[in-house]
Amino acid sequence: MAKIIIPTPLRKFTLNQSAVAVKSGTVLESIKDLTTQFPELDKHLFNEEDQLRGFVRIFIGEDDIEDLKGGITEVNDTDTISIIPAIAGGTN
Amino acid sequence: MQISIEPAALKEIHLISERTYPNECCGFLFGTNDGLESKITRIREVINNDENSRIHYTIPPKEFLKAERFALENDLALIGVFHSHPEHQPRPSGKDLDDALPELSYFITSVHEGEVMDTRSWRLTDHRNFVEEPIEILFKNKLSKSITQ
């Protein structure tokens, strides 16, 4: 099992757990396993088109998955995945 | 959730909002949170490096990690985020809603012709809508006033 680190604002939805064990596979499969375990998280991580929301940045170890293979990046059992918000907004 | 802020912290947000005008500013709110009430005692500006900083702000992931670390090291809670709306109402835009996180308070300050007009606080519901939360200003004699009409 891989491990996902949960940012503070989302821990309400993981019973205050800061880390959750998830299935390995692709990084998207691992995150979907997280939202299967904690369904209330799904709408905060994925939009209506089932795409990751704009603020959701995923790292494997120190590496942003956007610098790897995106959602299809392979995750091993020893990997630590971090969900880190890139907070954004504005008038428009 | 009840939300209150020390006057010095609110003044700092206003000074930053006016200094960065006509661009948007942004930063984090810190304080205490007992599950029913949040009290903001400190704020920290994050430089808005968004390429469209007149209408957008972006706080990169590394700044979020820094903020979580700052809260831990200072025995504070990360309460929320502030930003300004130059020449716009202090109400969340569609962009604000799309990118909002639950469990945080979002302070929005409107600035008109370089002068702060109003600050409002918003919080995401479980249905991903924003609701306004009245801001109480904390004074040392414990009297408070709401800045929300």
ipTM of this complex prediction, to 2 decimal places: 0.80
CB pairs under 8 A between A and B: 94
pLDDT, position A91: 86
Chain B residue nearest residue A85, CA to CA = B61
pLDDT, position B126: 84
Contacts of A46 in chain B (CB under 8 A): none
The predicted-structure confidence for A18-70, as pLDDT tens digits, reads as follows 899 999 999 999 999 999 999 999 999 998 899 998 889 999 988 999 999 99
pLDDT, position B140: 62
Q: Which residues contact B146 (CB under 8 A, 6 or more apart)?
A: B134, B135, B136, B137
Q: How far apart are CA B128 and CA B29, in angstroms?
A: 21
Distance from CA of B141 to the nearest CA of A (A): 32
pLDDT, position B149: 42
A76 and B CB contact within 8 Å:
no
Mean pLDDT of A81-85: 93
**What are the Cα distances from residue B108, in Å, to B17, B48, B129, B141, B144?**
10, 15, 16, 27, 20
Chain A residue nearest residue B60, CA to CA = A86
Contacts of A7 in chain B (CB under 8 A): 64, 68, 101
Please answer yes or no on whether A10 and B102 come within 8 Å at the CB atom: yes
Q: How far apart are CA B128 and CA B101, in angstroms?
A: 9
Please answer yes or no on whether A91 and B81 come within 8 Å at the CB atom: no
Please check the confidence at residue A86 and state whether its pLDDT lies above 90.
no
Tens digit of pLDDT per residue, chain B (149 long)? 889 999 999 999 999 999 999 999 999 999 999 888 999 999 999 999 899 999 999 999 989 989 988 998 999 999 999 999 999 999 999 888 888 899 899 999 999 999 999 999 999 998 889 999 999 998 765 545 555 54
Residue B96 in tokens: 């604000």
Contacts of A89 in chain B (CB under 8 A): 56-57, 83, 92-93, 95-96, 99-100, 106
- Which of B59, B86, B99 comes nearest A53 by C-beta? B99
Distance from CA of B140 to the nearest CA of A (A): 29
Cα B119 to the center of its chain, rounded Å: 9
